[in-house]
Amino acid sequence: MPHSVSLKPAAARRSSDLSGTVRIPGDKSISHRAFMLGGLASGETRITGLLEGEDILATGNAMRAMGANIRKAGDEWIIHGTGNGCLLEPEDVLDFGNAGTGVRLTMGLAGTYDMLTRFTGDASLVKRPMGRVLDPLRLMGVQVEASEGDRLPLTLHGPRTANPITYHVPMASAQVKSAVLLAGLNAPGITTVIETAMTRDHTEKMLQGFGAELEIGTEADGARRIGIVGQGRLTGQTIAVPGDPSSTAFPLVAALIVHGSDITIENVLMNPTRTGLITTLLEMGAVIDIMNERRAGGEDVADLRVRTSDLKGVTVPADRAPSMIDEYPVLAVAASFAEGETVMPGIEELRVKESDRLDAVARGLELNGVDCTEGRDWLSVRGHPGGKGLGAMTKDAVVETHLDHRIAMSFLVFGLAAEHGAFVDDAAIIATSFPEFMDLMTGLGAQMEFFA
C-alpha cells in the first residue's frame, strides 16, 4: 500500500512546557513479523497493539495475497495462516510502498517457494539495495530477475527444494538476518546465519514463540550463530505488541530540548537491542526516569518520564550503532541543542535507509543554522544550547525529507526548540510508521501543523 503521493508540507514553531502522558503505537519491527508469522502459521493468531501504519498494512496485504486470512475485530487483528510451506503464488505484484523491512523479510519468507513472486515499492524503496537479501537467496537456489543494481521491481522464482545454507551476514542488518532465517523455514535441514554485530532479535524470539526450532550460540570469535530447523510446524499465537522505541524517540527528544517540559511515555519496548538512544541520551545528561519496568509478551517494557535537560555532547561508540540505527537523525537533533560536540562514527548504513539519512540530516541541519560535518560514515554536530539563532530564517528554508518519515519527524521536533522554528516539505510520509505523530505531539503542547 503506497503512502499518499501528494506531499504535505508542515511547520513546527518554538514551543514550551510539553506535558502529559502518552502511549506510543506498536513497534514496527514486531508488527511486520506478527503479520508474517501469523500469516504463515497454522491456526489462529490474535494481535493487539499492532502498528497500523502504511508499512505494516502493506505487509498484511502481501500475506493476504499469499493465502492468509487477516481481519480486524474491535482492537484485535485475527489471522488464520496458511501453514508453514503452504503460501500460495500471489496473482499480482506485491507492492510494499515505503517499507524496506516488509519487502526484504517477505522476499526471504516467500522467495524460496517454487512459484513466481513479484515485488515493488515507492520512489524511495526502488532506490534501495536489495542485493543484500538476493545474494543469500541465490545461494539457496532462487532465480532472481531484478532491476539494475539488484533493485526493485524484481521477480523471484524458488527451486523445487531450497538449499539450506550457512550465511555470514556481511553488514550489521537485522533485515538480512531475518530474511535468511525466514527462507530457512522452507528449506530441509538447518539454515544458519552468523552475525558479527548483534542486531535486533525479534525474528529469533518470535520464531521460537511460534514453535520453530532454533539453535542459538556463539562462535569462537564472539559472533552470534543462529540455526533454524526448516519445514517445521508453526502454530498461531497471541501477541501484544509493545510501544515502538524508535517512535518514542521523537516525543522523548522533544521533551528534553523544549523548555519546561515533563512528559511520560507509557509501554515502551526496552529490548536491549533497541535501547541505544536512551543509553546515549543518559550519557549526554538527559533526565529520563525508567519506571515500572516489567515483562510483557516476552519483552522488557517500561514507562519513561522525561524532563527538559541540559545536554552535553558525547562521542557515541560505533559498536552501539545497531541498537539505535534508526535514531541517529533525532539524536543529531538533540545534539543541535547540546553544549559542545557530538560525534557519531560507524553509521555508513544510514546511507541506505529510506533516504541517505547522513546527507539528509546534514543538509537539514545546515539549512537551519547548525554547525555540523559529514564524513563517509560519520557525522559530528556542534550544539547551540537554548536554540538561539537556529531554525528557518525564511519561508524558503524548507527541509527536504526525501520520502523519509524519520527525517520529517526529526526536523519537526527540531523546530519545537529552535528560535525560528522549522519547515519540512512533507509530513504525509510520517503515516508509514507513526500516523498519530502530529496529534500526539500537539496533544503534549507542541506547536506543529500542516500548511498548504
Closer Cβ to ligand S3P, 10 or 324, answer by number: 324
Which ranges in 7-157 belong to alpha helices (H)? 28-40, 54-65, 100-111, 131-139
- Within 286-305, the residues that bind ligand S3P by CB under 6 A are none
Q: Which of 45, 82, 120, 175 binds ligand S3P (CB under 6 A)?
A: 175
Q: Least distance in Å: CB of 156 to ligand S3P?
A: 19
Question: What cell was used for 22?
Answer: 502518552
- Within 305-344, the residues that bind ligand S3P by CB under 6 A are 325-326
Q: Are strands 10-13 and 44-48 parallel, antiparallel or unpaired?
A: unpaired
DSSP state of 385: G
Q: Least distance in Å: CB of 61 to ligand S3P?
A: 18
Contact 384, 370 (CB under 8 A): yes
Catalytic residue among 27, 244, 326, 404: 326
Ramachandran assignment for 340, one of left (phi > 0), alpha (psi -120 to 50 degrees), beta (any other): left
Q: 376: exposed, middle or buried (C-beta count within 10 Å: 0-12, 13-18, 19+)?
A: exposed
Q: Least distance in Å: CB of 132 to ligand S3P?
A: 8
C-alpha–C-alpha distance, residues 346 and 335, integer Å: 17
C-alpha–C-alpha distance, residues 36 and 296, integer Å: 21
Helix (H) or strand (E) holding 356: none
Closer Cβ to ligand S3P, 298 or 386, answer by number: 298
Q: Least distance in Å: CB of 148 to ligand S3P?
A: 21
Of the candidates 174, 236, 182, 205, the residue with the CA atom closest to the CA atom of residue 299? 205
C-beta nearest to ligand S3P: residue: 29
Q: Least distance in Å: CB of 326 to ligand S3P?
A: 5
326 included as an active-site residue: yes
Q: Least distance in Å: CB of 33 to ligand S3P?
A: 7
Q: Which of 192, 199, 261, 267 binds ligand S3P (CB under 6 A)?
A: 199
Closer Cβ to ligand S3P, 8 or 274, answer by number: 274
- Half-sphere exposure of residue 62, counting CA atoms within 13 Å on the CB side? 35
Stretch that binds ligand S3P, among 114-122, 169-177, 248-256, 262-270 (CB under 6 A): 169-177
- Pattern 6-45, ligand S3P, x by CB under 6 A: -----------------------x----------------
Residue 47: CB atoms within 10 Å = 23
Q: Least distance in Å: CB of 245 to ligand S3P?
A: 11
- Interface with ligand S3P, residue 173, by CB under 6 A: yes
Stretch that binds ligand S3P, among 106-114, 149-157, 171-179, 206-214 (CB under 6 A): 171-179
DSSP, collapsed to helix, strand or coil, labels residue 386 as helix
Residue 374 pairs in a beta bridge with 379
Stretch that binds ligand S3P, among 111-119, 154-162, 168-176, 419-427 (CB under 6 A): 168-176
Closer Cβ to ligand S3P, 53 or 227, answer by number: 53
- Interface with ligand S3P, residue 401, by CB under 6 A: no
Closer Cβ to ligand S3P, 175 or 261, answer by number: 175
C-alpha–C-alpha distance, residues 369 and 348, integer Å: 24
- Half-sphere exposure of residue 408, counting CA atoms within 13 Å on the CB side? 28
Contact 361, 335 (CB under 8 A): no
Residue 71 pairs in a beta bridge with 78
* Residues in contact with 227: Cβ distance below 8 Å, sequence separation at least 6, in sequence order: 190, 191, 192, 193, 214, 215, 216
Closer Cβ to ligand S3P, 117 or 175, answer by number: 175
- Within 87-126, the residues that bind ligand S3P by CB under 6 A are 101
Closer Cβ to ligand S3P, 101 or 342, answer by number: 101
Residues that bind ligand S3P (CB under 6 A): 29, 101, 173-175, 178, 199-200, 325-326, 349
Residues belonging to the active site: 326
